[in-house]
Amino acid sequence: MSRVFQAIEALLAVMLSAMVVMVFGNVVLRYAFNSGITVSEELARFFFVWITFIGAVVAMHDGSHLGMDGFVRTLSRRGKVICFTLSQSLILICCAMLFWGTWLQHEVNASTMAPVTEIPMIWVYGVSYVSALGIGAHALIKLWRVATGRIRDNELIDISENEEIHPIPVAGGADR
Amino acid sequence: MTIAIFTGSLLGAIMLGMPIAFALFVCAIALMLLQGNIDTTILSQKLVEGADSFPLLAIPFFMLAGELMNAGGISKRIVTFALTFVGHLRGGLGFVAIFASVMMAAISGSAAADAAAIGALLIPMMRQAGYDVPRSAGLIAAGGVIAPVIPPSIGLIVFGVIANVSIGKLFLAGIVPGLMMGLSLVLAWLWVARRDKVTILPRQNWGVRLRAGIDGIWALIMPVGIIGGLKFGIFTPTEAGVVACVYAFVVGAFIYRELPLRQLYPILVASAKSTSVIVFLIATALISAWLITLSELPEQVATMLSPFMDNKILLMFVIMAIVVIVGTALDFAPTLMILTPVLMPVIKQAGIDPVYFGVLFIMNNAIGLITPPVGIVLNVMCGVANISMNELMKGLWPFLWAELIVLFLLVLFPDLVMVPLAWLTRP
Amino acid sequence: QFQNRTIRVSNGVSKEHPMGNGLAAMGACTLEKTGGKMKIQPYWDGALGNDLTATQSVRTGSLEMVLTSTAPLTSIIPAFGVFDLPFLFNDEKEADQLLDGKVGAWFSDKLPAVGAVNLSWWENGFRHTTNSRRPITKAEDFSGVKMRVMQNNIFIDTFKELGSNAVPLAFSEIYSALETRTVDGQENPFNNIENMKFYEVQKYLTLTKHAYSPTLVLFSKKVWDGLSPEEQNVLKECAAVGQKEQRKVNREKAEVSLTNLKSQGMQINEIAPEEMARMRDKLRVINDRHAASIGRETLDLVFGELKRIRGN
Ligand code: NA
Ligand code: NA
């Protein structure tokens, strides 16, 4: 599993670097050569969308989505388990609806081409399949662990109150 | 009814410990149920559409630039530079902290990271020189929240995208209010630290100052470059972000040589992840924004605020008071995402300038980062200074009040924002 | 045969735009013809999304109606790209005749297959150029001017061909980009230039009339199929009523806007006919370059009809 997430992290890093290169390249081209590559604006935006929605799955895995744990922390283990089960079930429902909505919208996006690159828009808007499946699977696993009584106390709060500082992991290492 | 469903579902889901992004999702579904029309395609389409925006690209760029600068030794040089000038004055380290906060604010957009970086450098020095530690930590915490007000600012970017307001204008409008926050801290510090007995550092000669200036020049000219570049139209806010990345990388890696190339990969990964967390939240907020638009929620809020509708200053005062109260319990990003779509129709209806409102709203949200019980900058400073929350709060009060007074003044005198803005955008 | 219905309409423009007059006329008409049952509920300033995303919502039935440019449709049906070609129409009369005639119907007939019904052709109008560098008097004056253009290959190509640096930017960022001189110029109909206050940050307005932007009154096919034939008729008739009002006000307001822009201190100039002819010649390559993506059949149809209308 950690191999998979390492590969995803590498993908995120590559896409972010590509965004920097493309957008910075355009600034340079505009000033140095009074020209620009119109494709790079659109492509950088698409990479950004992918980073966001693939990264959202990683953030679920890391427990780094923003949330407020003040209330849940005051509860007993029993109370925490109830809240956790409820919240993971709701997340699962959200993911199912998201997946279904993307499916209903699939044809509309597949038949629409991006204005400049002319990539079918499903390659951009279909990224919600990835988020729905990844986050949904995460919720399912957690619910399974609750059902089988194997859930550990520290798993019951998997959000972060910190919106700004995310520790930089050691080079090359996975988070866990 | 709509207001009850909206707040009930949202707060209920947040209390359960759900990520706020999914709480917004649940809130959107609750609003759909209320409107009697479950439409899953809206969920998927609006979600991705929320992130599919070029101006938002500034977020990963400024995140990355911030990480690169912290790793590249830029904050250290800003502090050293200020020390050589005012270290020998009474309360001098406090002035160093304020100067460094304003400078860092003009380079990065993160309140917590700025406060942490400056605190880590200055609090040990302040402790050793005999400064009151909670008060010093309070000052640095209050200094940190200047970051989202002075450009570059992720808060202003997000507001601009959700409210459809020019980010370039918001950036230029934030400069003077941010400087006023810094000035208010100087005055508060002069007042509370006037009788302190502290060791003062030796006065430095101009040679030392010059050397610190030369060593720090690459850090010191960065704010000038970013703000000047925006003012003179050399680049858009998004491009400013990417230029800041490249600049911070070149300075950190090749000039200061404090950023080893192998650090680049983890920094990229961390920036991408932070981006994802923030933008995923924005995207879910835009789903509920669509449903808020279709529901009568803005009208209901407008009706509630209608007694104040005729008087812009009174209306702003009431809204700012509400945001201060909400800000005690909710932090920056959630307040911004939830309240922007609700408040914007009211602001437009009342004829308040959206740029003016945006700057005050962001300042208010930033101050929320240091109001108890929930305030992330407070948690960070407790950790950095190794003091309890109660101790920190005792030291923080004067500075918190100083910044609230600035906010109040800006509500009373909108020209304090608008006149400098007109000057800055003059061709 | 009429049920209580609220038709939600997405607009990218603000409610002061002539689209507002058109929708008001259309709404008054539907109320009258249905005994107060069918209401038109507009949403302005892209509150429900930009043209592209609102069009997608219309296609899936999440939204009843959108007033959109042809841009989102070009992404779905490339033939619509013909309306982006430079100097396609000479005047409004030609545009009206072509769009309200069999060619307009030919385009509308392509839409049900992708989930939309076009009720009528309204307009954004002829587009003109503003910039802060110099008055445009000939094609060469575009050289080196950084122009904001829509994100659209034909427009980008057109302005590159003229020698300017085409920079695609979001509509909401145009004002501040012009103000800080990140870009030097932009192109839009008069009404937009006035509504967006571009006159505050642009000195020169050149009446290039280089393109005509039609607007489609696009209805969701999914919702449409659930309406009674009477309801469908009312919508069609009232969209035509709206069309009359919208075009009328749009053209009147364009005149007023032009006067206002002048009094706001914009320096306005026309291009001499012979220079205009040179510019058209220079841009003829655009038609050829994009012929493959638009489709030969479409081009022949449109240019054939224009020839007929022009009577030669
Ligand atoms: Na900042
Ligand atoms: Na707070």
Pairing of strands C65-68, C5-11: parallel
Residues C40, C30 contacting (CB under 8 angstroms): yes
Q: Which of C60, C153, C165 sits opposite A108 (nearest CB)?
A: C60
Whether the model clears a pTM of 0.90, i.e. scores above it, the answer is no
Which pLDDT belongs to residue A152?
Answer: 85
Tokens of C108: 């509308």
Report the DSSP beta bridge partners of residue C215. C122
Question: Which runs of consecutive H residues, i.e. helices, occur in chain C?
Answer: 18-33, 51-60, 71-76, 92-100, 102-108, 153-161, 174-179, 190-195, 221-224, 229-263, 273-289, 291-294, 296-310
Chain B residues touching C170 at Cβ < 8 A: 53-55
Q: How close, in Å, is residue B266 to chain A by CA atoms?
A: 5
Q: Per-residue b/e over B146-183, b at no fewer than 16 CB within 10 Å?
A: bbbbbbbbbbbbbbbbbbebbbbbbbbbbbbbbbbbbe
Q: State the pLDDT confidence band at A173, using cuts at 50, 70 and 90.
A: very low
Residue B64, chain A, CB below 8 Å: the answer is yes
pLDDT tens, residue by residue, C14-32 = 888 899 999 999 999 999 9
Please answer yes or no on whether C167 and A36 come within 8 Å at the CB atom. Answer: yes
* Cα–Cα dist B326/B335, whole Å: 7
Distance CA C69, CA C92 (A): 16
Tell me the C-alpha distance between A96 and C163, whole Å: 51
Report chain C residues whose CB lies below 8 A from the CB of A114.
75
Q: Which residues pair with C147 in a beta bridge?
A: C166, C185
ipTM for the assembly: 0.84
* Centroid of ligand 2 to alpha carbon of B411 (angstroms): 20
Query: Before B420, cis peptide (omega within 30)?
Result: no
List the single residue in B49, B165, B167 with the smallest CB-CB distance to C49: B49
Does the distance separating the beta carbons of C168 and A108 come in below 8 Å? Answer: no
Q: Which residues of C touch A30 (CB under 8 A)?
A: 146, 165, 167
Residue A164 neighbours by CB under 8 Å, 6+ apart = B110, B111, B112, B113, B274, B376
Could you tell me the distance, in angstroms and rounded to a whole number, from the CA of residue A95 to the centre of ligand 2? 31
Contact B45 C56 (CB under 8 A): yes
The two beta strands, C38-43 and C5-11, are parallel
Check A165 against B111: CB less than 8 A apart: no
pLDDT in tens, chain B (427 residues): 788 888 899 889 988 989 989 998 999 999 899 888 888 988 998 899 888 888 888 889 988 988 888 788 887 888 888 888 888 888 888 999 999 999 888 887 778 878 888 888 889 888 888 899 999 999 999 999 999 999 888 899 889 888 888 888 898 899 999 999 999 999 999 998 877 777 777 788 888 888 888 888 888 888 888 888 877 878 888 888 899 899 989 988 888 888 888 889 999 999 999 889 888 988 888 888 888 878 777 778 888 888 888 889 999 999 999 999 888 877 787 788 788 888 988 898 889 999 999 999 999 999 999 998 777 788 888 888 889 888 999 999 999 999 999 999 999 999 988 888 888 776 5
CA of B358 to the centre of ligand 1 (A): 15
Q: What are phi and psi of A147, to 5 degrees?
A: -60, -35
CA distance B95 to B87: 8
What residues have a C-beta under 5 A from ligand 2, the ion? B 327-328, 368, 371, 374-375
From the CA of B155, the nearest ligand is: 1
**DSSP 8-state code for residue A120:** B
Q: Is residue B2 a contact partner of residue B23, using CB atoms and an 8 Å limit?
A: no
Tokens 């250290």 belong to: B76
pLDDT in tens, chain C (312 residues): 889 999 999 988 888 889 999 999 999 999 999 999 999 999 887 778 888 889 999 998 989 999 999 988 998 999 999 999 999 999 999 999 999 999 999 999 999 999 999 999 999 999 999 999 999 999 999 998 989 988 788 998 999 999 898 887 777 778 878 887 888 999 999 888 888 889 988 999 999 999 999 999 999 999 999 999 999 999 999 999 999 999 999 999 888 988 999 998 899 999 999 999 999 999 999 999 999 999 999 999 999 999 999 986
Strands C165-168 and C38-43: unpaired
Query: What does the pLDDT look like over B183-192, one tens digit per residue?
Result: 999 999 999 8
> Judging by DSSP bridges, how do beta strands C65-68 and C38-43 pair with one another?
unpaired
3-state secondary structure of C139: helix
Instruction: Kindly indicate the confidence band of residue A51, based on its pLDDT and cuts at 50, 70 and 90.
Output: very high
